Structure 1
Amino acid sequence: MRLPDEPESSPQINIVPMIDVVFAVLTFFLISSLYLSRNEGLTVSLPGAQTGTVQPQLSIVVTVAASGALAVGGQAVSDDQLLGVVQTQLPATVGNVVIIQADQAVPHGRVVAVMDQLRTLEGVQLAIATQPPLEGNAPEAPNPQ
């Protein structure tokens, strides 16, 4: 017995599963890239201050970690390299302000040594970074009675 001739359908490539896989891989890379963060410098715990003021955005930040390690703008430097790195970045700053961002656990002598090195540069203004006070921790005004 012979069956009637049926038109044969031409073979086709179904790309829907391929698109699903491509989107799944793309989603994986997008989500995983959100967790890739660049560590900018050293982690420090700044001391608090009631009378701190905001410094210009275009200033050089010298970070002194609790271990005593130095970083300039997130780039680790040694004591010998500190002046050279700061001096190369000075022309791009406003008013030649160098902010020292020292951890509160750093010995006072270490901070003074870094400040002493930076003061040898001509026209440099130094500032020390502090943490702004919490709203509930502001000191009470004296009672005028």
Structure 2
Amino acid sequence: MRIDLTAREEKPRLMIIPMIDIIFFLLVFFMMSMLTMVVQKSVPLTLPQASTAKVSMVENIPVTVTADGAVYYEQEKMSLADLEDRLWKQKQQGEVSIILRGDASADYGKVVQVMDMIKNLGITKVYIATDTKG
């Protein structure tokens, strides 16, 4: 009887399950880190809270009313007449969607005045920005 003392070489096996786990982890990591890199083209302020607030992924034009009553188009401070001209020109180029961002301590009348001006231009897609309660 002959005894074989040579070691048998097994073919290396490719373990795909750990690789899938690592790729999934990297995918989730990069998706979560991209959420913090979203650029807001507007003035920082404290938004009022609402339980039905949602995040929209459609590009919108931010119009901001600060606590002291200043009106901003993106980050540019302007008067209501200048804002009306800017939005009219924007509407002539195509469909316009506005996010009206009013500080929680802003004068309610000023926010309504801006909203009324936007509606008078015939812009129907006007959203009011809020924070979620939590």
Q: Is the shorter-chain TM-score for this pair beyond 0.5, marking a shared fold?
A: yes
Aligned residues: CA RMSD: 2.2
CA distance in 2, matches of 1:111, 1:129: 12
1:57-136 matches, within 5 Å, as 57-90=58-91, 96-134=96-134
Structure label with greater radius of gyration? 1
Stretches of structure 1 that go unaligned for 5 or more consecutive residues are: 1-39, 135-145
Stretches (4+) displaced over 6 A: none
SS at match of 2:55: coil
Paired residues in the alignment total 95
> 1:61 deviation in Å?
0.7
**TM-score, length basis structure 2:** 0.62
Partner SS, residue 119 of structure 1: helix
Of Structure 1 and Structure 2, which has the larger fraction of its residues in strand? 2
Q: 2 CA distance for matches of 1:129 and 1:91?
A: 24
CA distance in 1 between counterparts of 2:83 and 2:102 reads: 15
Q: Tell me, which stretches of 5 or more residues in structure 2 are unaligned? A: 1-40
Q: Which residue of 2 aligns with 1:9?
A: none
Residues 98, 126 of structure 2: 8 Å contact kept: yes
How do 1:27-46 and structure 2 match up within 5 A? Answer: 41-46=42-47
Matches within 5 A, 1:20-31: none
Show the counterpart of 2:36: none
Q: Distance in 1 between matches of 2:124 and 2:81?
A: 18
